Structure 1
């Protein structure tokens, strides 16, 4: 399988001037693609027209979808990946254009109105007055969302085997006790390590990892029942309940027909 790696520069916030306040970009990637760590001089809203991709900042991994985008502040070091066929969108915002948005990466719900406005900015026939009006409307409706598909990846030697196992097989059924036995430590030690490194419990972290993988499969058109089995749930209803607790959304939100 062809895998493409792209290297982009690290550029300080505000180091370059954009021709417009809001500038859209989109691309359908032909191959599985990885973007090395880089940063932009302008703010960026990552979202997809089709498929799911990931964005990584430090040990935090976000899933980006047609429903949930990610605000990436100017100057923030990040990397990313997308599978072949993903139609990704990147909307760039001039450094001083969105002062009310977060200065750290944050989820953004791509509402029908926001999508319509962002797509309108891709029309080369827009007059300067129409563009200015549309840009102002985008900045007016753009706001952080409490929802987000975020996983904090543990990096310590103790938790790395667990993270690797769940990344390779999100349906892995080993419990906290199972891992404690396998790693030769107490369950309490692992539990404390998860809280310290990820800010959440082992069980909630596993649910987040499974949701992260599930979204990628749903966005490729997989049936909910098949996804549920693939990520370790005994039924679609159990999967749906866990998914809603983790993301605040239903699996159907992300499924491509």
Structure 2
């Protein structure tokens, strides 16, 4: 009966990415989803907690005004009721853990990044199996809860300006972060002076255009780095003159260099 009910739950999840709660006898159900590059589960919410994780590839999860890029070393805890969307930037296998709140000791109320160590990976794979005895499942679930270790992670989410001229510049930079034109040059494109655009970016995004563009470049770099693209190549693609300049900007924004951020062990 337990296996049958969990199979139904996972089947319902796999159809749309939305979860229809069919409680298992344990506390956790694991759903596995093959996601080609660019696949997306659009905005939705669950009545249960979720841990979104890619056993292969890279996930992006948007929630609460932020976006997280998740290589296999990191997962995102999404509390029940939080509206979110999930996508893949490369061919990925998403393994989502769903936690029934009344049986879950974790009480995080906001999206929280957690480290995925080797033992947690193995436990997720074990719980995804079809014939897990009830007693060993209980032990495995207890270990999972004990291994949910939060990471302090800075999200990079440059806000969009509202003024149509500044917004046109922002959209162009988002489409090509390596574009190095300054505000005077952009002003000739959108019909505003460089000084006006500078004022609009500060007033509407809370940061100078240079800082805002730096945030865009770093956000564009994250999926590439997560896929294992070389730092020098990433730096060039997003508009940095040298790899060292890119690494310095990344460290300043995130607190660690790219290699440490995407380390398989998930250290921060």
> Equivalent of 1:250, from 250, 257, 264?
257
Q: Any stretches of 5+ residues in structure 1 without a counterpart?
A: 1-5
> Partner of 1:120 in structure 2?
126
Q: Any stretches of 5+ residues in structure 2 without a counterpart?
A: 1-14
Alignment of 1:18-29 (within 5 A): 18-19=23-24, 20-29=26-35
CA displacement at 1:155 relative to structure 2 = 5.7
Alignment of 1:196-211 (within 5 A): 202-211=209-218
> Equivalent of 1:236, from 243, 247, 260?
243
> Partner of 2:8 in structure 1?
none
CA displacement at 1:61 relative to structure 2 = 2.2
> Partner of 1:190 in structure 2?
201
CA displacement at 1:31 relative to structure 2 = 5.1
Secondary structure of residue in 2 paired with 1:35: strand
> Partner of 1:3 in structure 2?
none
Secondary structure of residue in 2 paired with 1:96: helix
Q: Deviations over 1:193-218 (max 9, x none)?
A: 212xxxx6655543333232222122
Alignment of 1:97-108 (within 5 A): 97-108=103-114
Q: Distance in 1 between matches of 2:229 and 2:140?
A: 36
> Equivalent of 1:88, from 79, 83, 94?
94
Q: Distance in 2 between matches of 1:140 and 1:177?
A: 54
Alignment of 1:213-228 (within 5 A): 213-228=220-235
How many residue pairs align between the two structures? 243
Greater Rg over alpha carbons, structure: 2
CA displacement at 1:225 relative to structure 2 = 0.9
Report the TM-score when normalising by structure 2: 0.76
Q: Distance in 2 between matches of 1:97 and 1:150?
A: 33
1:110–1:177: structure 2 CA closer, same or farther, 3 Å change rule?
A: farther
CA RMSD across the alignment = 3.0
Alignment of 1:39-188 (within 5 A): 39-57=45-63, 59-154=65-160, 156-158=162-164, 159-175=166-182, 183-184=192-193, 185=196, 187-188=198-199
1:64–1:169: structure 2 CA closer, same or farther, 3 Å change rule?
A: same
Per residue, is there more helix in 1 or in 2?
2
Q: Distance in 2 between matches of 1:96 and 1:151?
A: 33
Q: Distance in 1 between matches of 2:73 and 2:183?
A: 33
CA displacement at 1:167 relative to structure 2 = 2.3
Q: Deviations over 1:158-197 (max 9, x none)?
A: 55334422321122324567657754425233213212xx
Q: Distance in 2 between matches of 1:201 and 1:104?
A: 29
Secondary structure of residue in 1 paired with 2:31: strand
Please tell me whether the aligned partners of residues 21 and 93 of structure 1 are also in contact (alpha carbons under 8 angstroms): yes
